[in-house]
């Protein structure tokens, strides 16, 4: 197996540009967006158009959208490395502000399941709406989580039944990023909870569909610039053409596999975002220590602080390498479910510890909210990275199943 850790010249140049943008434009506005619970649409449009001009690339913008576009060949994916480029950009942008990434117009988390399982007609119909970002901004969303089923994907209870040329959906989804403003949501439901994964179906539910409504918009502790919504389906009539992949795709467990394939794509991106926040806190703490302590003096407390920072640094670096590997495997067309769960579990934990250590080392500098007190914001933002896209506990179960497939206790 060839192991390659170097980045292409194009990746390095674009990454430097994204970091410059995050440092000079994004971070100075981060606290204001947090207070306002949103990012101005004009700014989002500029970012979306920039991302589109780069073909998605190192910012998690719309990227390749239209169903008319030819799917890149395996060799082309290996050459361009879109998954690795995306995680590089996600970390750089999250270093500036993680909430902004979740606000960006485009298909968002709804894109991967449509691209992976949609029919050619569905890909064209649902993805082409993001081709022009110069006018009305549009979002896609991914509605899986329910009040009683989050990381336990098999436990969803939103029901679906066929009625003529429509499917009728009933249920409630929660914590859906951009769910309220999305042009469409990929909604998971079940024909029969007793069937478990085999009963799952995925639908594209368009805004304005009869029986579909938005519940509350969450008032969150962190990532307050992004919208997180509750979605309500009450006898929601979805055309049969909106069943993702069509009827033939559900002869087996394809509905559940659609959800899992999406996680394999998104977990490395989420891990990279966590690393961006963790790196921001780590660098802040390192700069604080250099400024406030005379490290040349032989003081036990200074040695202890240095050891704590060294531990944080190596944990972040280990998580980064695991994240890069998960993305690299995806670009090679290889299965990466185990590695995707590994990097998600490692990055979330490492970044949380980085924020905690930074606050403790910086003292009052790190715990008082207000202008310039970014550590407090990063601490609020980071907690969810050990929860969404599957909790840390779930990641460890997934990893154990992949390592020990014959062990029946999981």
Q: 383 pLDDT band (50/70/90 cuts)? A: very high
- Reading the block at residue 408, the tokens are 């029946």
Is 9-130 in CATH node 1.20.990.10? no
pLDDT computed for residue 239 by the predictor: 97
Q: What distance in Å separates the CA atoms of residue 97 and residue 241, rounded to the nearest whole number?
A: 38
Domain ranges (residues) in the chain: 9-130, 140-252, 255-403
Q: What distance in Å separates the CA atoms of residue 400 and residue 227, rounded to the nearest whole number?
A: 34
Lowest mean pLDDT among 189-193, 200-204, 262-266, 279-283: 262-266
Q: What distance in Å separates the CA atoms of residue 349 and residue 367, rounded to the nearest whole number?
A: 20
Mind listing the pLDDT tens digit for each residue in 199-232?
889 999 999 999 999 999 999 999 999 999 999 9
pLDDT computed for residue 43 by the predictor: 93
**What average pLDDT does this structure show over 321-330?**
94
Residue 53 pLDDT > 80: no
Mind listing the pLDDT tens digit for each residue in 279-318?
999 999 999 998 887 766 677 788 899 999 999 999 999 9
Q: Taking Cα atoms as reference points, which of 125, 127, 193, 108 lies closest to residue 154?
A: 193
List the catalytic residue out of 91, 227, 339, 389: 389
What DSSP state is assigned to residue 155?
Answer: G
Mind listing the pLDDT tens digit for each residue in 97-128?
999 999 999 998 899 889 888 999 999 999 99
Residue with tokens 């250590």, as numbered in its chain: 357
Q: Is 389 a catalytic residue?
A: yes
Alpha helices for 170-299 (secondary structure H): 254-292
Instruction: Identify the architecture of domain 255-403 in CATH.
Output: Up-down Bundle (1.20)
pLDDT computed for residue 58 by the predictor: 47
SS3 241: helix
Q: Are 331 and 84 in contact (CB under 8 A)?
A: yes
Q: Is the model more confident about 162 or about 301?
A: 162
CA angle 142, 148, 344 (to 5 degrees): 55
Q: What distance in Å separates the CA atoms of residue 322 and residue 73, rounded to the nearest whole number?
A: 25
Residue 254 pLDDT > 70: no
Q: Are 114 and 122 in contact (CB under 8 A)?
A: yes
**What average pLDDT does this structure show over 32-59?**
80
**What average pLDDT does this structure show over 15-34?**
94
Residue 67 pLDDT > 60: no
pLDDT computed for residue 260 by the predictor: 66
Contacts of 249 (CB under 8 A, 6+ apart): 117, 255
Most confident of 44-58, 66-80, 166-180: 166-180
Q: Taking Cα atoms as reference points, which of 127, 142, 257 lies closest to residue 203?
A: 142
Residue 94 pLDDT > 80: yes
Give the helix, strand, coil percentages of the chain, each rounded to 5. Answer: 55, 15, 30
How many C-beta atoms surround the C-beta of residue 334 within 10 A? 9
Q: What distance in Å separates the CA atoms of residue 191 and residue 148, rounded to the nearest whole number?
A: 17
pLDDT computed for residue 387 by the predictor: 87
Query: How close are the terminal C-alpha atoms of the chain, in Å?
Result: 31
Average pLDDT, the chain: 87
Residues of the chain with pLDDT > 70, as a percent, come to 86
**What average pLDDT does this structure show over 69-73?**
58
CATH fold of 140-252 reads Butyryl-CoA Dehydrogenase, subunit A; domain 2 (2.40.110)
pLDDT computed for residue 77 by the predictor: 62
Q: Is the model more confident about 110 or about 255?
A: 110
């Amino acid at each position: 197996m060839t192991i390659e850790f170097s980045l292409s010249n194009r990746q390095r140049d674009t990454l430097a540009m994204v970091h410059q943008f995050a440092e000079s434009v994004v971070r100075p506005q981060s606290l204001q967006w947090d207070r306002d619970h949103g990012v101005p649409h004009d700014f989002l449009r500029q970012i979306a158009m920039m991302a589109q001009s780069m073909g998605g690339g190192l910012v998690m913008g719309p990227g390749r959208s239209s169903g008319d576009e030819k799917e890149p060949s395996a060799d082309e994916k290996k050459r361009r490395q879109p998954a690795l480029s995306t995680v590089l950009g996600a970390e750089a942008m999250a270093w500036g502000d993680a909430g902004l990434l979740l606000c960006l117009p485009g298909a968002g988390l709804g894109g991967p399941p449509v691209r992976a399982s949609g029919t050619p007609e569905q890909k064209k119909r649902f993805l082409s709406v993001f081709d022009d970002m110069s006018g009305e901004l549009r979002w896609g969303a991914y509605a899986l989580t329910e009040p009683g089923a989050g990381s336990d994907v098999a436990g969803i209870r939103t029901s679906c039944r066929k009625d003529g040329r429509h499917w009728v959906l009933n249920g409630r989804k929660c914590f859906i990023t951009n769910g309220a403003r999305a042009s469409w949501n990929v909604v998971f439901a079940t024909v029969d909870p007793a069937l478990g994964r085999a009963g799952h179906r995925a639908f594209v539910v368009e805004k304005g569909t009869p029986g579909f409504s938005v519940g509350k918009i969450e008032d969150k502790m962190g990532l307050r610039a992004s919208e997180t919504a509750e979605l309500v389906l009450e006898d929601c009539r979805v055309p049969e053409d909106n069943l993702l992949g069509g009827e033939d795709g559900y002869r087996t467990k394809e509905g559940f596999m659609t959800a899992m394939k999406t996680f394999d794509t998104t977990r490395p991106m989420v891990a990279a975002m966590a690393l961006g926040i963790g790196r921001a806190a780590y660098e802040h703490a390192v700069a604080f220590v250099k400024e406030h302590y005379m490290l040349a003096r032989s003081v036990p407390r200074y040695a202890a602080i240095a050891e704590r920072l060294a531990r944080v640094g190596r944990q972040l670096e280990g998580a980064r390498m695991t994240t890069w590997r998960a993305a690299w495997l995806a670009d090679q067309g290889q299965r990466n479910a185990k590695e995707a769960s590994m990097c998600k579990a490692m990055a979330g934990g490492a970044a949380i510890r980085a924020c905690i250590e930074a606050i403790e080392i910086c003292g009052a500098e790190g715990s008082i909210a207000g202008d310039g007190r970014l550590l407090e914001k990063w601490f609020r933002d980071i907690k969810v990275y050990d929860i969404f896209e599957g909790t840390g506990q779930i990641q460890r179960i997934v990893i154990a199943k992949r390592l020990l497939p014959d062990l029946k206790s999981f």
